[in-house]
A = this chain, B = another copy of it.
Amino acid sequence: MIGYPNKKSIPVSHQVRDNYMGRGMSLEDDLNKSNEYYLEIERAVIHKKPIPVQIVRVDYPQRSAAKIVEAYYKTPSTTDYNGIYRGKAIDFEAKETKSKTSFPLSNIHPHQIKHLMRVLKHGGIGFVIIRFCAYDETYLVDAQYMIQRYQQNESKSIPYAELKDNGFLIKRGFTPRLHYLDVVDQCYFKEEA
């Protein structure tokens, strides 16, 4: 929605497209590469889930791969990433924002918040990874905090300064590009460190 403050009627599909294909790309790419690395060194098994798509029509041309010719994006019912780390279920959503001042809560779907609540309830580790593109800073924000802020109906966004205080900055690197499991160690495995 950023950059389109007066276009309230922008169709849902275009919002979804933005989230999937535009803004999210580079953080997504960093996370995928980091997860590949963590998989390789056997530190964790964490994957991005495929984009949920409703397939309507498929062609089967002779001697070549089945071709999907009509399909639509579906609203995700869970977060994008999950897996296992140090014996615990890990579950998180990742979002970028171009805003310099705040993270718009509309970036997260209500069912994703509900899903994170369930993750915590059933004993998993849940969080949201938020990147402020303007500062090239990426934060891990605990799900509990995110859920609370989401449920405060009056607020439509979380100020940058507040996220800086309540989130945990993720160190960038070459391999992995985002040392996010170090932050997970720090936040969720303190007593064992």
Chain A contact residues, CB within 8 Å of chain B: 11-14, 16-17, 39, 42, 44-45, 47, 49-53, 55, 58, 60, 63-74, 77-78, 82-89, 91, 115, 118-119, 121-124
Each complex incorporates copies of this chain amounting to 2
Bound form: Cα–Cα A51–B115 in Å: 20
Q: Are A44 and B13 in contact (CB under 8 A)?
A: no
Bound form: Cα–Cα A74–B44 in Å: 23
Q: Which of B66, B78, B82 touches A73 (beta carbons < 8 Å)?
A: B66
A117 to chain B, nearest CB (A): 10
Main secondary structure of the interface of A (DSSP, over half): mixed
Q: Which of B11, B58, B64, B86 touches A64 (beta carbons < 8 Å)?
A: B11
Q: Are B17 and A86 in contact (CB under 8 A)?
A: no
